[in-house]
C-alpha cells in the first residue's frame, strides 16, 4: 500500500486557529460529560451509598475485566430535553469485556429519578439490545429501577417501541442463544419485574434487591394486605420460594462476582473444545474417599456435593439455584478441563426440583455445555398435596427437557434409580451417550419393600371384595414372599446389562 503524503502546514495561522477552536469544543464536551457522570448529583449519590449500594458506574467498573475499557453508548442522551435534569437518560449502556467475553451492559442509575424510565431511557435501552443482536453479544442487566416514569406514561408504555419492546427483545435474543443475565441490585417494580423473570439467569442482592409486579402500597390498596417489600419480593423470597432468581448475593460486590462466574460458563468464553492439550486440575480430595461416602444401606442419604467435590477439577462447582428445589443439585464444573453441567440427586424430586432441572438443561443447551447426570433417586414425591399441585405436569416438563436436549448427555447411576425418577434423570431410554453403574447401584420400577407393600395392599383389597379375611400371619407371609420375588426380579433386571442393554 502507498503512504498518504500530508500537505497540511501545521505552522499556518489557519491551522492554529482551527486547532484552538476544536480543542476548546472538545474540552467543553469533556466538562459536560464529567458533570453527567455524576448522575443525580453528590447528595443523591450519598443517599444511594448510604443504602450499601455501588453507583451504576462503580458497578460496571467492578464487573468488567481489570485494565479493560468500557465503550459507552449515548452518554449525552436526554441532555436538555426534559424540564428536569435526566443525565444520560438515567441509564448507563455500553460494551465491556467480562472474563474475556465482550458483553452489552445496561445499568440503571438509581441516583437519577430513582432509575425510572423516561421515553429516551426506553429508547437507549432498546438501542443497546439492538447492538447486542447485531453483534451477537450477551446482555447483562444491572437492575435498579422504579419502573416507568408515570407522568410520561403515554410516551413510555403503550406503543410498539415503548417499554414492552424491552421484554420482547429479551425473549427473542434468548431464543437466538444470546445470553440474557440480570442482576437485581435495587427496585424492580411492575413491568420491570419481567427483566429478571425473563432472563436466562438472574442474581439478587440481599436487603436491597426486590422484585414485584405491585409494590406494598398497591397491594394494600388492592387487597388490604399490609406487607413489607422484603416479605413481598425480597432476595430470600425469590431465591428459596418463588424461584424467580437463581443466585443469592450478600451485597453488590458479591453479586458482580457471581455474574462474572456466570459469564465464564458462556459458549463465547472459549468452552468449545479445541484440538490439542487442555489444562486441568485434580480434585482437592482423593476419589477413593467416595468408598466411605456411599452408604452401605442404599436408603440412607448423604450430600451429593461430597461426590461432586471428588470428581470435578479443583473441586470447584458453580451451583445454580442453590436454595431452590434443594433435593436436586445443579451447577457447572470442569472435568479434565472441559465445562459440563451437572444434575445430581440429593433426595426425592419435588415440583421445584423438576422445574429447576428444566431451567438448567435449557441453559446448558443454550451454552452448548454437555450434561452429566448423577442418579440416586427414589422417584418423584407422592401424596394428595403434591398431586393437587401438579407434580405430574412439572415432572413431565423435566422429562421433556431431558428428551429434547441437544447437547451430549452422560448418566452415572451412583445409587438407586427408581420409577419415573429414572426417566427424569436421563435413563437408558433417553439416549445418554454413555450410561455407567456403580457396584452399589439398583434400577427398578420402585424399591423392593415398597413394591411388596403395594402388592400386599392390592391382594388385601381383592380378598375384601371377595368377603374373605386374611389373618395377620398370612399377611406377613405374603410380604415375605413378595419381597423375595422382588429381589429376584431386581437381580434379573440389573444383570440385563450383560446382554448389552446397559453400559
Given this model, what pLDDT does residue 278 score?
75
pLDDT band at residue 269 under the 50/70/90 scheme: low
pLDDT above 90: residue 270: no
Contacts of 384 (CB under 8 A, 6+ apart): none
Given this model, what pLDDT does residue 499 score?
40
* 241/189 Cα distance (integer angstroms): 19
Per-residue pLDDT tens over the stretch 219-233: 999 999 999 999 999
- The answer to whether 90 and 108 have CB atoms below 8 angstroms apart is yes
pTM of the predicted protein model: 0.87
Given this model, what pLDDT does residue 463 score?
73
Given this model, what pLDDT does residue 64 score?
98
- The answer to whether 201 and 262 have CB atoms below 8 angstroms apart is yes
Per-residue pLDDT tens over the stretch 297-343: 988 999 999 999 999 999 999 999 999 999 999 999 999 999 999 99
Given this model, what pLDDT does residue 455 score?
64
Count other C-beta atoms under 10 Å from residue 180's C-beta. 23
Given this model, what pLDDT does residue 461 score?
74
pLDDT band at residue 389 under the 50/70/90 scheme: very high
* 149/141 Cα distance (integer angstroms): 19
pLDDT above 60: residue 67: yes
Stretch among 58-67, 129-138, 345-354, 474-483 having the lowest mean pLDDT: 474-483
pLDDT above 90: residue 205: yes
Mean pLDDT of 224-250: 97
pLDDT band at residue 456 under the 50/70/90 scheme: low
- The answer to whether 203 and 249 have CB atoms below 8 angstroms apart is yes
- The answer to whether 155 and 120 have CB atoms below 8 angstroms apart is no
Given this model, what pLDDT does residue 502 score?
44
**Dihedral sign (CA 408, 360, 415, 384):** negative
pLDDT above 80: residue 465: no
Per-residue pLDDT tens over the stretch 19-63: 999 999 999 999 999 999 999 999 999 999 999 999 999 999 999
pLDDT band at residue 212 under the 50/70/90 scheme: very high
Domains and CATH numbers, the chain: 38-269 (3.90.226.10), 287-444 (3.90.226.10)
* 102/136 Cα distance (integer angstroms): 10
* 185/235 Cα distance (integer angstroms): 10
Amino acid at each position: 500500500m502507498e503512504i498518504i503524503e500530508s500537505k497540511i502546514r501545521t505552522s499556518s495561522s489557519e491551522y492554529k486557529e482551527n486547532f484552538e477552536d476544536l480543542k476548546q469544543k472538545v474540552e467543553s464536551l469533556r466538562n459536560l460529560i464529567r458533570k453527567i457522570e455524576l448522575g443525580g448529583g453528590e447528595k443523591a449519590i450519598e443517599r444511594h451509598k448510604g443504602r450499601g449500594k455501588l453507583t451504576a458506574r462503580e458497578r460496571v467498573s467492578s464487573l468488567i475485566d481489570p485494565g479493560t475499557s468500557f465503550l459507552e453508548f449515548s452518554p449525552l442522551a436526554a441532555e436538555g430535553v426534559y424540564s428536569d435534569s435526566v443525565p444520560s437518560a438515567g441509564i448507563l449502556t455500553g460494551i465491556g469485556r467480562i472474563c474475556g467475553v465482550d458483553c452489552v451492559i445496561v445499568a440503571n442509575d438509581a441516583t437519577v429519578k430513582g432509575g425510572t424510565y423516561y421515553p429516551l431511557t426506553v429508547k437507549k435501552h432498546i438501542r443497546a439490545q439492538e447492538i447486542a443482536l447485531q453483534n451477537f453479544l450477551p446482555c447483562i442487566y444491572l437492575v435498579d429501577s422504579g419502573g416507568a416514569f408515570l407522568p410520561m406514561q403515554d410516551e413510555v408504555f403503550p406503543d410498539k417501541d415503548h417499554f414492552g419492546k424491552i421484554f420482547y427483545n429479551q425473549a427473542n435474543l434468548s431464543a437466538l442463544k444470546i445470553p440474557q443475565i440480570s442482576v437485581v441490585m435495587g427496585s424492580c417494580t411492575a413491568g420491570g419485574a419481567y427483566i429478571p423473570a425473563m432472563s436466562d439467569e438472574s442474581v439478587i442482592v440481599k436487603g436491597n434487591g426486590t422484585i414485584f409486579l405491585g409494590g406494598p402500597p398497591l397491594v394494600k390498596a388492592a387487597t388490604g394486605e399490609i406487607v413489607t417489600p422484603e416479605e413481598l419480593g425480597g432476595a430470600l423470597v425469590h431465591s428459596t420460594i418463588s424461584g424467580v432468581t437463581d443466585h443469592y448475593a450478600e451485597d453488590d460486590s458479591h453479586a458482580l462476582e457471581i455474574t462474572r462466574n456466570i459469564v465464564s460458563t458462556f459458549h463465547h468464553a472459549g468452552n468449545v473444545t479445541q484440538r490439542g492439550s487442555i489444562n486441568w486440575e485434580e480434585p482437592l480430595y482423593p476419589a477413593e474417599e467416595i468408598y466411605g461416602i456411599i452408604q452401605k444401606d442404599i436408603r440412607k442419604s448423604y450430600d451429593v456435593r461430597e461426590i461432586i467435590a471428588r470428581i470435578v477439577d479443583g473441586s470447584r462447582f458453580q451451583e445454580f439455584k442453590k436454595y431452590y428445589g434443594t433435593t436436586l443439585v445443579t451447577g457447572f464444573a470442569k472435568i479434565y478441563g472441559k465445562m459440563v453441567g451437572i444434575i445430581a440427586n440429593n433426595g426425592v424430586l419435588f415440583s421445584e426440583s423438576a422445574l429447576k432441572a428444566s431451567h438448567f438443561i435449557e441453559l446448558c443447551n443454550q451454552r452448548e455445555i454437555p450434561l452429566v447426570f448423577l442418579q440416586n433417586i427414589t422417584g418423584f414425591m407422592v401424596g394428595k398435596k403434591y398431586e393437587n399441585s401438579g407434580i405430574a405436569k412439572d415432572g413431565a416438563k423435566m422429562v421433556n427437557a431431558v428428551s429434547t436436549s441437544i447437547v451430549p448427555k452422560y448418566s452415572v447411576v451412583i445409587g438407586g434409580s427408581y420409577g419415573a425418577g429414572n426417566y427424569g434423570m436421563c435413563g437408558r431410554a433417553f439416549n445418554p451417550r454413555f450410561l455407567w453403574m456403580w457396584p452399589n447401584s439398583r434400577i427398578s420400577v420402585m424399591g423392593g419393600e415398597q413394591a411388596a407393600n403395594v402388592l400386599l395392599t392390592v391382594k388385601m383389597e381383592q380378598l375384601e371384595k371377595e368377603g374373605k379375611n386374611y389373618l395377620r400371619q398370612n399377611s406377613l407371609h405374603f410380604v415375605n414372599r413378595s419381597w423375595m420375588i422382588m429381589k429376584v426380579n431386581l437381580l434379573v433386571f440389573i444383570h440385563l446389562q450383560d446382554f448389552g442393554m446397559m453400559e
